[in-house]
């Protein structure tokens, strides 16, 4: 018996009602870390969740200042395409590499989104991201416009 699934909006994806959140596997040394983590154990944990039927992994550029996406990418590289989970990641939080303990800046300009997306694709080792989201509204005033949205 598999885990229950629900449609993800109109995407055509049916996702399990629970996924794997990878914030903690980003490791330590940054402002919102959960402390040091063992990458081998993190990969084993993700494999176990996939074996249990979870079909998506949530990560973000900022988790571990890119490290979480690298660990997810390592897992993905070890799986045949038919066994790969959906990959969801996020953008919009830019950190200061010189001061990783400082809170990330919320910025969503088209240029930064493009840059973050390209970097995420490389770290994840994929050609596409199944769901790309932003973490927080931009604090610099960049408007978010969604065609047809009524807010």
Closest CA relative to residue 135, chosen from 44, 72, 63, 50: 63
Q: Which residues are catalytic?
A: 63
CA distances from 45 to 34, 41, 76, 117 (A): 16, 6, 13, 26
> CB of 11 within 8 A of CB of 131?
yes
Question: Which residues on adjacent β-strands are paired with residue 88?
Answer: 58, 131
SS (H, E, C) 80-118: CHHHCCEEEEEECEECCCCCCCCCCEECCCHHHHHHHHH
């Amino acid at each position: 018996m598999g885990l229950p699934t629900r449609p993800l909006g109109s995407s055509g994806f049916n996702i399990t009602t629970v996924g794997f959140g990878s914030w903690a596997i980003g490791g330590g040394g940054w402002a919102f870390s959960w402390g040091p983590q063992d990458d081998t154990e993190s990969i084993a944990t993700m494999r176990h969740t996939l074996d249990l039927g979870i079909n998506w992994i949530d990560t973000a550029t900022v988790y571990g200042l890119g490290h979480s996406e690298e660990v997810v990418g390592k897992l993905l590289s070890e799986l045949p395409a038919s066994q790969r989970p959906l990959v969801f990641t996020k953008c919009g939080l830019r950190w200061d590499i010189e001061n990783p303990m400082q809170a990330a800046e919320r910025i969503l300009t088209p240029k930064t989104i493009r840059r973050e997306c390209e970097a995420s694709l490389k770290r994840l080792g994929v050609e596409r991201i199944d769901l790309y989201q932003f973490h927080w509204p931009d604090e610099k005033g960049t408007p978010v416009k969604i065609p047809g949205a009524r807010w």
